[in-house]
Amino acid sequence: MLKGAALGFAGLALPLDRANASFWEAFFQKHFREMNDAEIKKVISRLEKEYAEKYKKAITIGNEKPLPGVLYGYGLDLSRCIGCRRCVYGCVEENNQSLDPQIHWITVLRFKKGEKWVDLENAEKYYNPETVPQEDYFYMPVQCQQCENPPCVRACPTQATWKDPDGIVVIDYNWCIGCRYCMAACPYGARRFNWAAPTRPSEKINPNTHYLGNRPRYKGVVEKCTFCIQRTRHDPGRYPACVEACPVGARKFGNLLDPDSEMRYLIKHKRVFRLKEDLNTNPKFYYFFAYGN
């Protein structure tokens, strides 16, 4: 207890040495949606400087706006997923997630064939056999479903999270107060909280970031999958990292508003379902079973 008190008082010293202009600018920073482009640019350049100081490398923060006529959709072929978790770690590398404490935006669930599974009651996520896939099991990855009717957006008391026109539910990490109401509201367990300051070695930082996406986050704020907003919001835009990491091609991504996209094809030709559809969250993550074993 005394040690705690001593550590505590020592800790008081920390915020005092950052009592420079940058601290007050950060404190008074406005809500992202209330800033005009010039103000956002100023904020971004301040943040880039802060990141450069912290990680000793140049990090660019983009602010790509949603592309017109685009509504992102995601497909996941449950007949192909082998539960290898390469999507999980591909995401971690691309999106600068904290290594300690560990944060994974994607959770892969394992179910026994023949047992009740749709209600997720028998889901396991800590499986670690020698090889996957195992004979009697199948696998289902879950991440932010970018709902069209997101309960987390409704819950947030400060509007720190909102749904952009292209369907991505984003978070302004400089506005979030860390109350975690959104985490209680999310039916998919998609949101992660920075219980401590995130740590990631400088050489593993991906320097191509987006303000609302994969830029390094802070202690005490919430984060989640953003459909790799830093990759996808370009013309042409890249696939999210999980799509490219999957060795069996179980992950599909595209524009739901484009009738020629693979997403529309799969919705048309496959029996798709979405998780917890009875909650009317209208998620964009479509699970399906393609041909095969």
Partner 1 sequence: MIQIVRNFFIALRQIAVGDKKYYAWVGFLSFLIILGASAYIGQLNRGLIITAMRDQVSWGFYISNFTFLVGVAAAAVLLVIPAYLYNFKPIKEIVLFGELLAISAISMCILFIMVDMGQPLRVWHILPVIGAMNFPASLLAWDVVVLNGYLAINSVIAFYVLYRLSIGKEYKMSVIGPLIILSIPWAVSIHTVTAFLYNGLPARPFWNASILAPRFLASAFCSGPAIMLILFQIIRKLSEVEIENKAIFKIAELIAYAMGINLFLLGAEVFKEFYSGSIHSDPIKYLYFGLHGHNNLVPWTWFASILNITAFFLFLFPKTRENFTTLNMACAFVITGVYIEKGMGLVIPGFIPDTLGEIYEYTPTMQEILITIGIWATGALLYTFLLKLAVPVYTGKLRFFSKAQMVTAGDIMSRRIITVSPDTSADEIAKLLVSRHLSKAAVIDQNNTFVGTVSEADIISLEVGQGADRKIADIMSAPAAPVKEDVKIQELGKILADRKVSSLFVVNKDNQPIGAVSGNDVLRALENIRQE
Partner 2 sequence: MKRSLVMCAAFLFICAFILHPSFAESAQQELPKKLFVTPPPFSEGIFPCSQCHAGMPVNRTPRKLEMMHQNIILKHMPGGWCFDCHNPDNRDTLRLANGKIIKFEESYNLCGQCHGTILREWKNGLHGKRTGYWNGEKQYYLCVSCHWPHDPPFKPIKPLPPPVSPSDIK
What 3-state DSSP class applies to 210?
strand
- What is the C-alpha to C-alpha distance for residues 52 and 202, in angstroms, rounded to an integer? 10
Q: Which whole-number Å values give the CA distances from 210 to 29, 41, 91, 207, 265, in the listed order?
A: 18, 12, 15, 10, 30
Interface with partner 1 includes 144 (CB under 8 A)? no
Report how far apart, in Å, the C-alpha atoms of 194 and of each of 58, 180, 187, 293 are: 24, 10, 19, 40
Query: How far is Cα 74 from Cα 261, in angstroms, rounded to an integer?
Result: 11
Query: In the complex with partner 1, which residue's Cβ is closer, 60 or 196?
Result: 196
Nearer residue to partner 1 within complex by CB, 57 or 196 = 196
The answer to whether 64 contacts partner 2 (rule: CB under 8 A) is: no
For position 270 contacting partner 2 by CB under 8 A, the verdict is yes
Rounded distance between C-alpha atoms, residue 281 and residue 26, angstroms: 34
Within residues 196-255, the interface with partner 1 by CB under 8 A covers 196-197, 218-222
Residue from 20, 27, 36, 58 that binds partner 1 (CB under 8 A)?
A: 27
| Number of neighbours of residue 220 by Cβ within 10 angstroms | 16
Cβ pair 55, 47 in contact under 8 A: no
Q: What DSSP designation does 64 have? A: P
Residues 6+ apart with CB under 8 A from 25: 46
Which of 141, 167, 213, 237 is close enough to bind partner 2 by CB under 8 A? 237
Q: Which of 215, 252, 285, 287 binds partner 2 (CB under 8 A)?
A: 252
Q: Can residue 175 be called a binding residue for partner 1 (CB under 8 A)?
A: yes
Which helix (H) or strand (E) element contains residue 259? none
- Closer residue to partner 1 in complex, CB, 71/142: 142
d(CA 164, CA 67): 10
Q: With left for phi above 0 and alpha for psi between -120 and 50, is residue 114 left, alpha or beta?
A: left
195 lies in the binding site for partner 2 (CB under 8 A): yes
Contact segment (CB under 8 A) with partner 1 among 36-44, 45-53, 72-80, 150-158 equals: 150-158
Per partner kind, with CB cut-offs from 5 to 8 A, the member of partner 2, partner 1, none near residue 157 is partner 1
Which DSSP symbol is given to 124? B
Residue in the structure block whose two tokens are 């004979």:
135
From residue 182 to residue 201, the character string flagging contacts with partner 1 as x (rule: CB under 8 A) and all else as - is -xxxxxxx-xxxxxxx----
Instruction: Say whether residue 221 binds partner 2 (CB under 8 A).
Output: no
Residue ranges in contact with partner 2 by CB under 8 A: 70, 75, 77, 82-86, 88-89, 101-102, 104, 107, 125-134, 195, 232, 235-239, 243-244, 246-249, 252-255, 258, 261-262, 265-266, 269-270, 290-291
Residue ranges in contact with partner 1 by CB under 8 A: 1, 4-5, 7-9, 11-12, 14, 27, 31, 34, 101, 107, 109, 119-123, 125, 142, 151, 153-160, 175-181, 183-189, 191-197, 218-222, 279
